[in-house]
Every structure is written in C-alpha cells, then in structure tokens.
Homo-oligomer: A and B are copies of this chain.
Amino acid sequence: MIDVYFENLPVGHVIELGQHRVTREAIIEFATEFDPQPHHLDDEAANASILKGLSASGWHTCAIMMRMLCDGLVHRAASMGSPGIDEVRWMKPVRPDDLLTMRGEVKSARVSKSRPEMGIVDIEWSLFNEREQVALMRATGLYQVKNPEAA
C-alpha cells in the first residue's frame, strides 16, 4: 500500500526505522565480495588495526541503511528514485552483533520546477548502535507529488 507521497515529507518530519542486527558472517561475506581489506575479514588483522577489532565495511553499513530504508519507507512510498548522496560519514565502527536503528529528518523539500509531479526531498539519516551514532547519510530522494495543483 502506497501511502507516503511528497506531501507526507515536510521539512522537520522525522522517520524512525529499524532494527537490524549485524552478524559476523554478514560482515565477512560482504567484505569478501566488495571490500577485502584484512580488518574486515580476519580477527587477528582487525585486532592489530586502527579500529581494534572486526568491523563492517563502510559500504556494507550503507547497504544495510538502504535495506532498512526499503523495509521501513520505500516499500510504501511513491518513490521515483534517487539521483545520489550528498554526504556519508562513518563515525564509529559497526561491529558483529550490533543492533542498529535509524532515524531520518527531512532537511529540505521542494517540487521540481521542470516536473511538477515530482518532489525533491533531502533527508539526513542517522544510524545508531545501542550506545551511540555510528553513521550519517544525507540523501536526495524523489517522490511523487500526490496533488501537483495544490503543492
């Protein structure tokens, strides 16, 4: 059921998503395919690294955020895709067994001048483990305007 349109995402609107449990197996599986640096693959190398222990690839963290977004928002939104990302910050390592939650806040929302049926929404997403924020992502999303004449 589609119930999130551009009109439902005004500036200041907050979206809570989650939860996602990270596993050691998922960290190693992702890193093996996409980011085979020793500190994402092997405990001994990870313990000797700057991050002092096994941690997820930053791109794995982004992919997990996308999955949380799909499950919590995109599947019920009139989404028209995304042209890109304005910022990603990997603030703290994401570890095996971390339980992640995510919160988004709409930072800007405007109707496209050239395509009045499309809204452009910038959301700042914050990812947390049980103790602290671990990542930040500012993403532009395109959402269908439900009532172009009123918007």
A66 sits at the interface (CB 8 A) = yes
Expressed in whole angstroms, the Cα–Cα distance for A86 and B58 within the complex equals 14
CB-CB < 8 A to A70: which residues of B? 34-37
Question: A5: CB under 8 A from chain B?
Answer: no
Main secondary structure of the interface of A (DSSP, over half): mixed
| Interfacial residues, chain A to chain B (CB-CB below 8 A) | 30, 33-37, 50-51, 57-59, 62-64, 66-67, 70, 74, 79-90
**What are 25 of the A-B contact pairs (CB < 8 Å)?**
A30-B63, A33-B63, A34-B63, A34-B64, A34-B67, A35-B70, A36-B67, A36-B70, A37-B74, A37-B79, A50-B80, A50-B81, A58-B82, A58-B84, A59-B59, A59-B62, A62-B62, A63-B63, A82-B90, A83-B89, A83-B90, A84-B88, A84-B89, A85-B85, A88-B88
